[in-house]
């Protein structure tokens, strides 16, 4: 599933290509992508709009229009957003759910599992809408003190809390595992029991891990590709994620796979203290 680094990679690649461009026409081969809106309503709300800039909040991509409305794309499990010079035809239309015709090129939304979403937030509703998400982990407001406030008094396991989008935005299964390993914290630890020095370490590890992953253009472990249709490189540097049975890169102990909050979780029981 695309997490913050994958969505940010797509944003960085697409932004210069869509800035100042107008959506001339919208094809909606799979109208469920816009549900509960009808295809007609979605088409009316997006056609003719000029794009001011492409931004990101958590795992959401936001096409901000000049009139203040925002088109939001959430890739969920298998969504892909790519920029194309030519209109896709034949095989390249398989799993195509949305196609924006710009005045220069195309933005295609492919999605094999069809869980991704596209929706419009009218100007004026934007602020309220995004308030439900926690802080951006790479933003200025995310400080060790802020993380301490998020974890304080919480019985929930730290990994589950890190993946809760209303606590912190953008972190999913991959980066929660990798950041917790980097910080030397067992994913099952109750969040409220972390010490001050562990919180400081975890804060630094979250930012370091996400920044490194953006540098390497995200992780491709299943279907993720960037806006140019290329795979990311961060999966080559995984320390624990999907490495069960292999030696820990730090201590050589065997990496274990367990379930935390129903999600597959990879960690080193020797380096990550409970």
**What span, in angstroms and rounded, lies between the C-alpha atoms of 225 and 213?**
14
Other CB atoms within 10 Å distance of the CB of residue 169: 23
> What value, to the nearest 5°, has the Cα angle with vertex 178 and ends 174 and 184?
150
**What span, in angstroms and rounded, lies between the C-alpha atoms of 170 and 209?**
12
Q: Is 114 in the site for Zn ion (CB under 5 A)?
A: no
**What span, in angstroms and rounded, lies between the C-alpha atoms of 109 and 42?**
15
Q: Within positions 198 to 257, which residues make up the interface with Zn ion, using CB under 5 A?
A: 248, 250-251, 253
Q: Is 270 in the site for Zn ion (CB under 5 A)?
A: yes
Q: Is 180 in the site for Zn ion (CB under 5 A)?
A: no
Q: What is the largest CA-CA distance in the chain?
A: 58
Kindly name the residue from 3, 6, 178, 217 that is annotated as catalytic: 3
Residue in the shown chain whose Cβ atom is closest to Zn ion: 248
Please, which residue, 70 or 272, has the CB nearer to Zn ion?
Answer: 272
249 is catalytic: no
Tokens of 35: 């549900």
Please, which residue, 119 or 267, has the CB nearer to Zn ion?
Answer: 267
Q: Is 274 in the site for Zn ion (CB under 5 A)?
A: no
Minimal distance, residue 159 CB to Zn ion, in Å = 17
Q: Is 268 in the site for Zn ion (CB under 5 A)?
A: yes
263 is catalytic: yes
Cα torsion angle, 46, 47, 52, 53, sign: positive
Q: Is 161 in the site for Zn ion (CB under 5 A)?
A: no
Kindly name the residue from 11, 49, 59, 243 that is annotated as catalytic: 59
Please, which residue, 73 or 248, has the CB nearer to Zn ion?
Answer: 248
Q: Alpha-carbon dihedral of residues 73, 215, 13, 89, nearest 10 degrees?
A: -80
2 is catalytic: yes
Minimal distance, residue 268 CB to Zn ion, in Å = 3
218-221 LR contacts (CB < 8 Å, sep 24+)? 218/2, 218/5, 218/6, 218/9, 219/3, 219/5, 219/6, 219/174, 221/174
Minimal distance, residue 196 CB to Zn ion, in Å = 23
Please, which residue, 90 or 252, has the CB nearer to Zn ion?
Answer: 252
243 is catalytic: no
Please identify every residue annotated as catalytic: 2-3, 59, 263
Provide the binding-site residues for Zn ion, judged by CB under 5 A: 248, 250-251, 253, 268, 270-271
């Amino acid at each position: 599933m695309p997490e913050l680094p994958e969505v940010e990679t797509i944003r960085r690649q697409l932004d210069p290509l869509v800035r100042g461009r107008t959506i001339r026409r919208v094809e909606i081969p799979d109208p469920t992508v816009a549900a509960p809106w009808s295809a007609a309503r979605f088409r009316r709300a997006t056609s003719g709009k000029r794009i001011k800039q492409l931004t990101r909040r958590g795992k959401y991509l936001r096409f901000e229009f000049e009139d203040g409305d925002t088109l939001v794309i959430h890739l969920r499990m298998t969504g892909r957003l790519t920029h194309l010079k030519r209109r896709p035809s034949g095989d390249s239309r398989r799993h195509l759910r949305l196609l924006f015709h710009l005045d220069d090129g195309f933005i295609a939304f492919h999605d094999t599992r069809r869980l991704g979403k596209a929706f419009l937030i009218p100007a004026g509703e934007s602020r309220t809408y995004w308030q439900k998400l926690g802080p951006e982990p790479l933003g200025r407001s995310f400080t060790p003190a802020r993380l301490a406030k998020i974890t304080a008094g919480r019985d929930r396991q730290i990994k589950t809390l890190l993946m809760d989008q209303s606590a912190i935005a953008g972190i999913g299964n991959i980066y929660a595992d990798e950041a917790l390993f980097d910080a030397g914290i067992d994913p099952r630890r109750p969040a409220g029991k972390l010490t001050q020095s562990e919180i400081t370490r975890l804060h630094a590890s979250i930012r370091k891990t996400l920044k490194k992953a953006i540098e390497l253009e995200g992780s491709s472990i299943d279907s993720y590709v960037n806006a140019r249709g290329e795979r990311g490189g961060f999966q080559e540097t995984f320390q624990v994620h999907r490495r069960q049975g292999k030696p820990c890169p730090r201590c050589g102990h065997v990496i274990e796979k367990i379930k935390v909050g129903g999600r597959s979780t990879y960690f080193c029981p020797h380096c990550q203290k409970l």
